[in-house]
Amino acid sequence: MTRKVEKARVVVVTGGTRGIGAAISATMHSFGYKVAATYMGNDKAAETFKENSGIDAVYKFDVGDYDACAAGLALIEKKLGSVDILVNNAGITRDSFLHKMTQQQWREVISTNLDSVFNMSRLVVEGMRERGFGRIISISSINGLSGAMGQTNYSAAKAGIIGFSKSLALEVAAKGVTVNVIAPGYIETDMVRAIAPEILEKIVAKIPVKKLGNVQGIARLVAFLADEQNGFTTGATFNINGGQYLA
């Protein structure tokens, strides 16, 4: 998809000021959508994103908190209008082997990575159904498909997104609403670049294309799935992982 959209629909991107989320926000903005980006922790990064992207609809709230989501969405809709497209991108890691994992590590990851998908989707889906149009696109992970040592919490949340999305896709298909998932592999972001070089080298060696992915590849797929003309694609999971995991 490279064309400007004819109607400036409203897009909300959770975790939309850094990494993959920032690329999605900027790409959707460049195509003419009205974009709201949410974030939780990094005020400096959010301000830098706001200055560099030209997107001034930036909101700070905890997407794992239903009431906070309701309040945040109310502000977004007051400024931009009803939400047409939701991109559930927010995510964190709290890695640990299960025999050492604390309940807090489990709960934080499930809250931010999975509860948020329910919270945000629940709050926008009724309006989408009533208007006869909607796009819900959620970012899962290769580790939600393959599993990963030290990530029982993260992998459970990311796998849960896939099951949630398949079920919701069936519920809303006749209402003009599509629900899809993107499951990235290792993408060149600050989170991945923070991995120790010797470990990252081993990771890249296991990727058949022998390199990390880029955020633009994911952002362009989001734009494709959000397109008004793409109403026949729903309930699907798109793997972008350089051939590392084939399903």
Cite the active site residues.
154
Distance, CA of 237 to CA of 247 (rounded, Å) = 10
Distance, CA of 246 to CA of 145 (rounded, Å) = 9
Distance, CA of 109 to CA of 157 (rounded, Å) = 7
Contact 4, 32 (CB under 8 A): yes
Distance, CA of 38 to CA of 171 (rounded, Å) = 26
Distance, CA of 119 to CA of 117 (rounded, Å) = 6
Within 10 A of 237 (CB to CB), how many other CB atoms are there? 17
Overall size of the chain counted in residues: 247
